Structure 1
Amino acid sequence: MVETLNQKAWLKDSYSNRKTGELNAYDSLFYQLSDTEKVSLIFPDEKYADDLFTIIDEERDRLKTFLPWASQMVNVSDEVKFLRYAKVKMQKQELFLLIILVNQQAVGMIDFHNFNQITKQAEVGYWLSEKYEKRGIMTKSLRWLMAYGFNSLKLKKIEIQVDKKNNNSLKIPRRLGFSEDKIIKNFAYYNGQHHDFVIFSQTK
């Protein structure tokens, strides 16, 4: 599918060749969470807007603690707009976003963003419903994304920026062997205060 960050219309074939939206370069892009649960990673699709918004609405207080965009998602139409926006950004090679499904129900997202085509690096973002945390879903999803980024997108460096107080998110890059490069004080401002961030990276 995607060979380099410079390839034009990097998702054209994938969107046109598969009705399911799953990555055609990786037909086995799923794994069994348990005997009855299967995890899949798929491209953005508006049909999952209801699932995603329901999580955001029900877990808004938790999510907005570290993800200020959660406060801006006030109805399903906002999620639909975001998914359409994500598709456009992906066609422009400015975003690589996947919806995480468990038994075909959306439970979170993971992505590459802030691509630098000169230095061949990108940043990772992710979020997951609290109901599915501590089950290895995000760790496995990030492990796949890293392999895809290094092997197919030809990235040289992957970076993750995490709020210093977000203990659950901090565990994931540490578990996967990312280097803790530095702590930047007052890196971001949201919820009425400045936040220190830990900057993780892994290189090829």
Structure 2
Amino acid sequence: MQITIDQDLSLRTITLEDAEKVFTLTDASREYLKEWLPWLDYTKEVADTKAYIEGCIKGHESKSSLSLVILFNHEIVGIAGFNAINPNNNIGTIGYWLSEGAQGHGIMTKTVKALLQYAFETLQLHKVEIRVAETNHKSRAIPERLGLIKEGTIRSAEWLYDHYVDHVVYGMLVSEWQQQK
């Protein structure tokens, strides 16, 4: 699957062939990403990234998740997609990360907007959620910029290496998406 956002930016389903590039990107951005992502200590070699991608493929096949590489000028610069898709409640949870060098181009805002469109128009979801560490202001700015509603805070939602972080939950209903269009 591929989603073209503009001439420089697109999303594509992650494949095993992406393992080397995704690992290299992860490794190069390790210290930057480690501030907010808890899985970097478990990603030490290409084989770890391959195992992650195999899980992504299974999630896609079972329609319980969807992981996409973010391509900027035809180069992988991050990952975005639906960490979870709940078919019983028609709710998807968006997750994303972007390499340090790709920051500042509006890439993630455009990416999340495209994911919202895909969620509501293709997957026919009723609601999309984004959960962000409370003090991750750059990441919180994305759902706020796109009009998602702050629904609340989950205390001690995630263990991040040596401490817990609270998560702010943002949500958008399909009716709210339609009103924005």
| Common topology (TM > 0.5) | yes
Partner residue in 2 for 1:168? 138
Q: Give the Cα separation in 1 of the matches to 2:22 and 2:86.
A: 29
Distance 1:172 1:93 in 2: 25
Measured in 1, the distance between the counterparts of 2:28 and 2:66 equals: 26
Secondary structure class of the residue paired with 1:68: coil
Partner of 2:98 in structure 1?
Answer: 128
Describe the superposition over 1:42-95 as per-residue Cα deviations: whole angstroms up to 9, x where unpaired.
Answer: 111222222211121122122122111122110112112211221111001111
In 1, the alpha carbon distance for the partners of 2:110 and 2:129 equals 17
- Please, what TM-score do these two structures have when normalized by structure 1? 0.81
Of Structure 1 and Structure 2, which has the larger fraction of its residues in helix? 2
* Pairwise CA RMSD: 1.3
Q: Of the candidates 77, 84, 90, which is equivalent to residue 107 of structure 1?
A: 77
Q: Is the 8 A contact 1:185 1:195 kept in 2?
A: yes
Letter in 2 for 1:31: D
**Equivalent residues, number:** 174
Q: Which ranges of 4 or more aligned residues in structure 1 deviate by more than 6 Å?
A: none
Q: Given the two structures, how large is their TM-score scaled by the length of structure 2?
A: 0.91
User: Can you give the 5+ residue segments of structure 2 that lack an aligned partner in the other structure?
Assistant: 175-181
State the percentage of identical aligned residues. Answer: 30
Give, in whole Å, the separation in 1 of the partners of 2:138 and 2:5: 23
Query: Counterpart in 2 of 1:31?
Result: 6
In structure 1, the partner of 2:156 is 186
Work out the CA distance in 2 between the residues paired with 1:30 and 1:174: 20
Give a deviation string over 1:162-188, Cα, whole Å, max 9, x none: 001111101100110010111222122
- For 1:144, what is the secondary structure of its paired residue? helix
Partner of 1:13: none
Cα separation, 1, equivalents of 2:46 and 2:6: 29
Mapping 1:1-204, distance limit 5 Å: 22-23=1-2, 29-32=4-7, 38-204=8-174
What's the CA shift string for 1:97-131, capped at 9, x where partnerless? Answer: 11111232211011113222121101110000111
User: Counterpart of 2:6 in structure 1: which amino acid?
Assistant: Y
Q: Give the letter aligned to residue 68 of structure 1.
A: P
